[in-house]
Amino acid sequence: MKEYAPANIRNIAIVGHQDSGKTMLAEAMLFATGATNRLGRIEDGNTTMDFSSDEIERQISVHSGVAWCDHAGSKINIIDTPGYEDFVGDVVLSLDVVDAAVVALRGDGGVEVGTSKVAEFAFARELPILFLINKLDKEHAKFDDCVAQIHETFGRKARVFSLPIGQGDGFRGVVDLVSGKAYEYAGDGSAAKSVEVPAEMQGRVDELRTELIETAAESSETLMEKYLDAGELTDDEFREGLAASVRARDVYPILCAAPAKGIGVDLVLDAIVSFFPTAEVGRRKSGDDEITVDPSAKASAYVFKNTSDSHVGDMLFFRVYGGRLEAGADIHNTTRNSGERLGQLYVVQGKKRDDVPTIQAGDIGAVVKLKSTKVRDTLADKSSGVDFVQTALPRPSIFAAIVPAKDGDDDKVGTGMNRLHDEDPTFEIRHDGEVHQTLISGQGELHLEVVTKRLKERFGVDVVMSKPRIPYRETITKAAEAQGRHKKQTGGRGQFGDVWLKLEPMARGEQFEFVNAIVGGVVPGKFIPAVEKGVVETMARGVVAGYQMVDIRVTLYDGSFHTVDSSEQAFKMAAAIAFKAAITKANAVLLEPIMDVVVKVPEEFMGDIMGDLSGRRGKIQGTDAVGRFTVVRAQVPQSELYRYSTHLRSMTQGQGSHTREFSHYEQVPRDQQTKIVEEAHKETDSK
């Protein structure tokens, strides 16, 4: 197989909102370049990138797909990313190993929440971006409206590089503003036919092309002087200036296409090769150092994706930054400080893989059967000192409790879930000892559905999901005192312990303080740790509704003992009795976790969203306008956010997204506390 130098490699990710045509764009690019011999269709379940059972069944991308093609002598590594927010982890990981991004928009949808979100990820990584107004063959598609939304949301650096000839059912061709030529397409993926620019479009074509020439001239003093002197640039100078502007992120091209019909795909390929940076610019942080692509350096690579193949096991995808990786060679996992032996290396075309002896700097490849390497790990020559900074992943937005559907499957569930976490680190599993539940979390309800379905298919175990318990806390609001006496005579040696405790509320977050105020030895010093232990254990079990008690100062100030019958156990029991008695006088209350919630929605939904958050006992903290969108910041009780991501998408026609982070604990309203206490007692009685 041909080996490409970094200067002839382009690594790109295709990103965008759900249903923006990303997978069909990748499919059309592969077909147009001869990488595949037929144009697959989402509806038929035969596209190169979407080949898992989940993707074929749901007709959406669930994982990032990897493939490559050759265009004009350059290798284009394509990563097709999911559009659903539930699978945003794949988007983040993919953008960390590419050098540019194609942001796809629906011609009949424009800039949506997902568009804005993935573009922000790309901007944060300082990646050049090409905006593709996609699916222009759909009814109600409006190119100019999409351009206006791009300008409103992302600014005027976005420049039109191609114009559609017709729209909707009449979309049949494209005018390339760089060459000034027009092309029409048969709609079956075959090559374009050069035609005259439609007369009614000529004025606009000339105007926009002149703007692009001026933009190209501004890329360097040399070109600017040439343009001012001669009033024009050669075709090569024009392209050179545009390429410099795009790579410097001074310009973001806007192109148009309908991949399902092959319209405009060739111009997208041309733009990727002509304007996007080569793999030579690739860079990653290793500690405080920035490592750039260097074929002469010691081997180093970053793992960004894991898929499980029934025939070969885990397949890890990586990008090489230094030197080259060679099949059969020893390599070091510097993240885990463990050795690995590289097995067979592959370049991948969706689910198809081809053996290669090496993967060199700048390129993307895959390897199987590594012992301990996981996603976000670094593989490098042990003496290189390279350990790439791990990609920061989005925090979970949905949580669910799980139990095995069949008794005795706990170990199988744990093993399977941990394997699935290795493949998808945005999915998490943990046992919460406080609420006594096994909790799974992810980016959305669909995310968890896909994971649990995969668990059943691959590991043969099923789980039942339910609403997770809320980790409420208990505390007091006023001081109180009480005596606790434990006295028991059983015929032999008795038990005697006697203490007086004073309870006082502390500031929120101070947790617990135990004060020994005994004077004169009325409680011997050897029993005082037992008193504290009795208090701590009682606080852990809770008194009001069985939740952990916090923010209480407990002072032991009096008591008595028996020289024969007193023991540590007796004083521990006495402390528990005194603590519970004092709680009944201290106006005990429940505290609930409050979350900082950030919701991003199109402006027209803002009123509904704010009303809904208020109905969830949320407190609006403020709003900000971001282009067409409004960001609403609020503090909302965790108990009111179960399946909120699903509800939000329903309210906003799939256009809303949110994030949440724990903020603080707050007192539960009295009416809510009564319900929570009643439910807790019912649950206790049923056990």
Nearest to 455 by CA among 389, 386, 406, 513: 406
Distance, CA of 78 to CA of 69 (rounded, Å): 8
Distance, CA of 459 to CA of 417 (rounded, Å): 9
Distance, CA of 537 to CA of 558 (rounded, Å): 20
State the pLDDT at residue 687: 59
Q: Which domain holds residue 627?
A: 590-672
Residues 550 and 478 in one domain: yes
State the pLDDT at residue 61: 95
CATH number at residue 443: 3.30.70.870
Residues 374 and 413 in one domain: no
Residue 684 predicted with pLDDT over 80: no
Residue 70 predicted with pLDDT over 80: yes
State the pLDDT at residue 568: 95
Q: Domain ends where: 237, 264, 281?
A: 281
Question: Mind listing the pLDDT tens digit for each residue in 201-212?
Answer: 999 999 999 999
- In this structure, is residue 496 part of a structural domain? yes
- In this structure, is residue 686 part of a structural domain? no
Residues 437 and 344 in one domain: no
Whether the Cβ atoms of residue 480 and residue 585 lie closer than 8 Å to each other: yes
CATH number at residue 73: 3.40.50.300
State the pLDDT at residue 312: 72
State the pLDDT at residue 191: 86
Residue 680 predicted with pLDDT over 90: no
- In this structure, is residue 413 part of a structural domain? yes
User: Domains in the chain: how many in total?
Assistant: 5
Residues 572 and 529 in one domain: yes
State the pLDDT at residue 655: 78
Q: What mean pLDDT is reported for the chain?
A: 94
State the pLDDT at residue 629: 85
Distance, CA of 261 to CA of 246 (rounded, Å): 27
- In this structure, is residue 156 part of a structural domain? yes
Residues 448 and 489 in one domain: no
Residues 638 and 525 in one domain: no
Least confident span in 19-23, 551-555, 567-571, 598-602: 598-602
Using the CB atoms, write b or e for 323-336: b if 16+ within 10 Å. bbbbbeeebbbbbe
Helix (H, G, I), strand (E, B) or coil at 365: strand
- In this structure, is residue 288 part of a structural domain? yes
Q: Does residue 627 or residue 149 have the better pLDDT?
A: 149
Nearest to 629 by CA among 609, 645, 643: 609
H/E stretch holding 118 reads helix 113-124
Question: Mind listing the pLDDT tens digit for each residue in 219-277?
Answer: 999 999 999 998 889 999 999 999 999 999 999 999 999 999 999 999 999 999 999 99
Question: Mind listing the pLDDT tens digit for each residue in 137-195?
Answer: 999 999 999 999 999 999 999 999 999 999 999 999 999 999 999 999 998 888 899 99
Residue 493 predicted with pLDDT over 80: no
State the pLDDT at residue 554: 98
* Exposed/middle/buried for residue 622 (C-beta within 10 Å: 0-12, 13-18, 19+): exposed
Residues 596 and 667 in one domain: yes
Q: Domain ends where: 560, 586, 612?
A: 586
Residues 66 and 156 in one domain: yes
State the pLDDT at residue 74: 98
Q: Where are the beta strands (DSSP E) in 566-656?
A: 588-602, 619-626, 629-637
Cα-only R_g, the chain: 32
Q: Does residue 572 or residue 191 have the better pLDDT?
A: 572
Q: Domain ends where: 563, 586, 609?
A: 586
Residues 621 and 512 in one domain: no
State the pLDDT at residue 663: 94
Residue 653 predicted with pLDDT over 90: no
State the pLDDT at residue 491: 67
- In this structure, is residue 211 part of a structural domain? no
- In this structure, is residue 271 part of a structural domain? yes
State the pLDDT at residue 214: 95
CATH number at residue 619: 3.30.70.240
Residue 502 predicted with pLDDT over 80: yes
Question: Mind listing the pLDDT tens digit for each residue in 93-147?
Answer: 999 999 999 999 999 999 998 899 899 999 999 999 999 999 999 999 999 999 9
Percent of the chain, pLDDT > 90?
86
Mean pLDDT to the nearest integer, 573-592: 97
Whether the Cβ atoms of residue 57 and residue 41 lie closer than 8 Å to each other: no
Residues 134 and 254 in one domain: yes
Give pTM, 2 decimals: 0.86
Residue 353 predicted with pLDDT over 70: yes
Residues 422 and 509 in one domain: no
State the pLDDT at residue 310: 65
Residues 56 and 174 in one domain: yes
State the pLDDT at residue 675: 92
Question: Mind listing the pLDDT tens digit for each residue in 279-334?
Answer: 999 999 999 999 999 999 999 999 999 998 767 788 999 999 999 999 999 999 99
Distance, CA of 592 to CA of 474 (rounded, Å): 9
